[in-house]
Chain A
Amino acid sequence: MKLALCLALPLALFSQTPPAAETKPAPPPPNPKSTVYFNPRSGAEDPRIGLKGGLYDAGEAAFGLQRVGSLPKPPGFAPGNSFVAPAPPPEPPAPGAAAEPATPPANPNQYGSTNSDLAFSGNHLFVGNYNGINLYDIDSPANVKLRTSIVCPGGQGDVSVYGHLLFMSAEAMNGRTDCGTQGIPLPAGYVAPPPPPAEPTKPGEPPARVRRPPPPPSPDRFRGVRIFDISDIANPKQIAAIQSCRGSHTHSLLIDPKDKDNIYVYISGTSTVRQAEELPGCIAEGPDKNPDTSLFRIDIIKVPLAHPEQAKIVSSPRIFTDVQTGNIAGLWKGGNHGADTQTTSVTNQCHDITIFASAGLAAGACSGNGILLDISNPINPVRIDAVSDPNYAYWHSANFNNSGTTVLFTDEWGGGAQPRCRATDPMIWGADAIFTLKDRKLTLSSYYKMPAPQTEFENCVAHNGSLVPIPGRDVLVQSWYQGGISLVDFTDPMHPFELAYFDRGPIDGAKRAMGGQWSTYWYNGYIYGSEISRGVDVMKLVPTKFLTQNEIDASNQVHFDELNVQNQPKIVWPSSLVVAKAYVDQLARGTSVTAKRIADLNAAIAKAEAGPTDKKAAPALKPLAASLEKDAATVKTVADANRMKALAAILNEKAR
């Protein structure tokens, strides 16, 4: 999440006739243009409209998804806990003034500390949170059990796991090396230098001012990536804390198949640069003032697996450099793209990077640009393409499809705390942008946005998702904050459509409140959601007109030992008849294969499944495979051709 303070102005169409001055005009919706397909907003019949609000008793609507379990946040994180904010600094009492007692908040933290990203390992689920990490047992997914809580604040707490190592991002000012919750209090007896005199401002001029002296540096502050040893899951230990200049908003693991001794962590920092007095070498000035600026780069940590405590930053590549001029600020400069376009942030950071090591590529969602990196050399990623988009405010995250031919980016317009799915918000703003990837070039193909209009009380915009391993299809299960969960089928990158959804009413039906799904990821047959305020949700797919039980069964043949979505695994399906049946169901939806052929395939597979009693069943698959292979060459639909080839391969193997 990034909370945006958008003080201005993606250009929107304004009413042509100036309304009367005394009545405030109802704002007309912005009317941006799209050169490609985007899915339509759903109509009044959508059951997600008008759901009752409530923290734990909100109304729910679902299609193709069934919620099988939920668990509220535990003590230390749950609603009613104290805020993770420092006590007011000890101020020296002014002469003659009575000491002022601190006033505790009238109401406690209503929704607890924010749940964030997810990681998985074996039968464990790790849920990041602004106050630490919660570790859950998911042996029984419908009955998730809390195993251990780690209290360790410092920002959104993005998590990843590798073996017994648990990684966590810290970016905010309150993070402490010792995981303390007190923030960074001032040294005893510290007296702040007097503020500089205020000067009058002139119209059109920046306010003339002398910058305040910075606060004292602190050796206790931690901004960067923490590494915990979770060999004993009941007793995690912090073994390393790697400091960085902008801290770590997100991070992504890179496992280099050629390097068995080390793993790498790409750090994306989006915040202010700290003082050199606190972390030597940090430079907050822009590249015009100092070419060694800590802006306009990412940081890469090398973790020696034999000695993870020795992990450190080994490179800070300038991946936004203009290769022609050498200007390190070589990508999007900030601003809009002309009339009726979005205002896009300057590219001086990445927000998130998805590593797809099996293709040797990474997709960076980097503020003003989507970029493609060649990661053959993990510590020296090379930018091979960069795209911008007139309807994008802030490039937030990315997913590849499994064959590496499509990249789906998200735009976190408004930063995640704003309601951006109202009926008046454009369907192409705060949406997914789906790009085809061919010859290492990205081309925009379509936009997709969760289609059900949400209330003004529900923060909603495109957010994190993961692939659902349905063979023969590209499907992403995606979070939309209080817009709920939406599964998008983008097999045809030109025409994405909604496959399934789950939504709740607002956290509070009468006023704004922060909540909703931060991340929803598929892991070994279930979809896990980290609900910001409500806790952990667990869902499973159920068949609909868009998805058969065979396809669900086929997806459940995939098993991950570990899953960090931003270190995207290559999915490989077993050569099984369960998978074959999914392909047949998919071919039955289209016109590439005749109904007669579908019936033959179904019959032959059913016989083969019946087992060794029928000795002719297996060999009978062979001619079917051969004709599928032959026909695949002339079929017009690429997805069907791929399904036919994949199906033929399974049938051939089973025929042996």
Chain B
Amino acid sequence: MADFARFVPTALLLLSTVTAFGQSGPSASDSPKIIQPGAPGQPGKTLTPETAAGPRRSPAKADIEFMQGMIMHHSQAVEMTDLMPTHTRNKILLALGQKINVSQTDEIGFMKQWLTERGQKTEMPMAGMDMSNMKGMDMSHMHHEMPLMPGMLSPEQMKALAKAKGAKFDHLFLTGMIQHHQGALTMVEDLFDTPAAGQDAVLFDFATDIDNTQLAEIKIMKALLLKEKK
């Protein structure tokens, strides 16, 4: 930025500050100022408490759908781990399932909190119901069933898992949960690839961390799968 360009806007900034003061009355000089700086070299603005609070806004649709979808996604993992006590005696796997059960339940709690605080439903609207709310969603694969989030096991896969016992169950559980986890990575990737999505800072932190933790966990399951073959 050339030097002269910085000086001109400074003058403008002073001007705009004075104007804002004039509008907010004589007592304003005692109250703290709310400054919204401009880009480097550009003038800033003085906000009032009202303008600083901003209009009440909805979160982006893709963000809501991401959270609702991830709740559904997590719920299936909980459903899978609920099968374990009656389907396997593999201690390592049981311990693993235990951990998944606890963390997924905690995460569901967090996602519900995020949605509720923003006045949103915690469940995805069902297909076949009020479709007008779902404009913008990719409906091509939905037909009249619940949409499957990426990586979620199909009803057939879930049935096969529920039928299997012992080593067969262990195998289906591991392959299924790896598929399930990788789906979560896909969901994050899709979220950030969606125009204007992922801009809620709390959701951003949440989604970001999936990338940072998922691969580690997939790695553990792949190692268990490899052991199985030996």
Contacts and interface: CB of A to CB of B under 8 A. Distances in A.
A33 interface: no
B124 interface: no
B215 interface: yes
Q: Chain A: interface residue count, which band?
A: 35 or more
B182 interface: yes
B44 interface: yes
Contacts of A211: 189, 193
A86 B196 contact: yes
Contacts of A102: 57-58
A48 B126 CA distance: 44
A335 interface: yes
B63 A85 contact: yes
Among B55, B120, B196, the one with the most A-chain Cβ atoms within 10 Å of its Cβ is B196
A236 B34 CA distance: 10
Interface in A206-225: 206-207, 209, 211-216
A179 B198 CA distance: 18
Given A215-B193, A512-B109, A335 B216 contact: yes
A197 B85 CA distance: 38
B179 A207 contact: yes
A241 B1 CA distance: 12
Nearest to B83: A21
A151 B86 contact: no
Interface in B201-223: 201-202, 204-217, 219-221, 223
A271 interface: yes
Given A82-B56, A204-B178, A334-B215, A270 B208 contact: yes
B202 A114 contact: yes
A7 B195 contact: no
Contacts of A185: 196
Contacts, number: 376
A8 B195 contact: no
Interface in B5-49: 6, 10, 13, 17, 32-42, 44, 47, 49
B59 interface: yes
Given A4-B213, A75-B53, A190-B195, A146 B205 contact: no
Contacts of A106: 119
B140 A343 contact: no
Contact of A343 (B61, B94, B176, B213): B213
Interface in A75-113: 75-76, 80-89, 91, 94, 97, 100, 102-111, 113
A198 B140 contact: yes
B128 to A, nearest CB: 18
B190 A174 contact: no
B188 to A, nearest CB: 8
Contacts of A198: 138, 140-141
Contacts of A155: 201, 204-205
A103 B192 CA distance: 23
B86 A18 contact: yes
Nearest to A351: B212
A205 interface: yes
B47 A177 contact: no
A3 interface: yes
Interface stretch (A413-421, A590-598, A636-644): A413-421
A47 interface: no
B100 to A, nearest CB: 5
Nearest to A110: B117
A513 interface: yes
Interface residues of B, number: 117
Contacts of A107: 117, 119
B77 interface: yes
B155 interface: no
Interface in B97-150: 97-104, 106-107, 109-110, 113, 117-120, 132-133, 135-136, 138, 140-141, 150
Given A21-B86, A76-B49, A105-B56, A335 B219 contact: yes
A137 to B, nearest CB: 9
Nearest to B137: A195
Interface in A457-474: none
A104 B58 contact: yes
Interface stretch (A22-30, A253-261, A314-322, A494-502): A22-30
Nearest to B153: A203
Given A174-B201, A198-B138, A237-B37, A11 B96 contact: yes
A11 B92 contact: yes
Nearest to B48: A75
B196 A89 contact: yes
Interface string A529-540: 000000000000
A201 B179 contact: yes
Contacts of A76: 34, 47, 49, 52-54
A21 to B, nearest CB: 4
Contacts of A147: 32
A346 interface: yes
Contacts of A192: 194-195
A21 B10 CA distance: 71
B116 to A, nearest CB: 8
B195 A5 contact: no
A172 to B, nearest CB: 4
Nearest to B205: A3
B17 to A, nearest CB: 7
A349 interface: yes
Interface in A106-164: 106-111, 113-114, 130, 145-156
Interface in A18-77: 18-21, 24-25, 27-28, 30, 74-76
A606 interface: no
B37 A309 contact: no
Given A7-B104, A149-B34, A213-B193, A173 B119 contact: no
Contacts of A235: 13, 17, 33, 35, 44
Nearest to B63: A85
Interface in A225-244: 228, 234-241
A74 B32 contact: yes
B35 A153 contact: no
Nearest to B103: A6
A107 B56 CA distance: 9
Contacts of B212: 2, 4, 270, 345-346, 348-349, 367, 394
Contact of B59 (A83, A91, A197): A83
A512 B186 CA distance: 28
Contacts of A86: 57, 60, 196, 199
Interface of B: 1, 6, 10, 13, 17, 32-42, 44, 47, 49-50, 52-61, 63, 70, 74, 77, 82, 85-86, 89, 91-92, 94-104, 106-107, 109-110, 113, 117-120, 132-133, 135-136, 138, 140-141, 150-151, 153-154, 157, 172, 174-184, 186, 189-190, 192-202, 204-217, 219-221, 223, 225
Given A11-B99, A13-B95, 10 more contacts: A12-B99, A75-B53, A83-B57, A104-B57, A149-B33, A153-B201, A200-B154, A204-B176, A343-B220, A349-B212
Interface of A: 1-16, 18-21, 24-25, 27-28, 30, 74-76, 80-89, 91, 94, 97, 100, 102-111, 113-114, 130, 145-156, 171-174, 177-181, 183-186, 190, 192, 195, 197-198, 200-201, 203-207, 209, 211-216, 228, 234-241, 270-272, 309, 333-336, 339-340, 343-346, 348-349, 367-368, 394, 414-415, 417-419, 511-514
What are the 3 closest A-B residue pairs judged by CB atoms, nearest first?
A76-B52, A334-B216, A106-B119
14 contacts: A5-B210, A6-B107, A7-B104, A8-B220, A9-B99, A13-B95, A105-B58, A151-B34, A177-B39, A177-B40, A204-B178, A212-B189, A235-B44, A346-B215
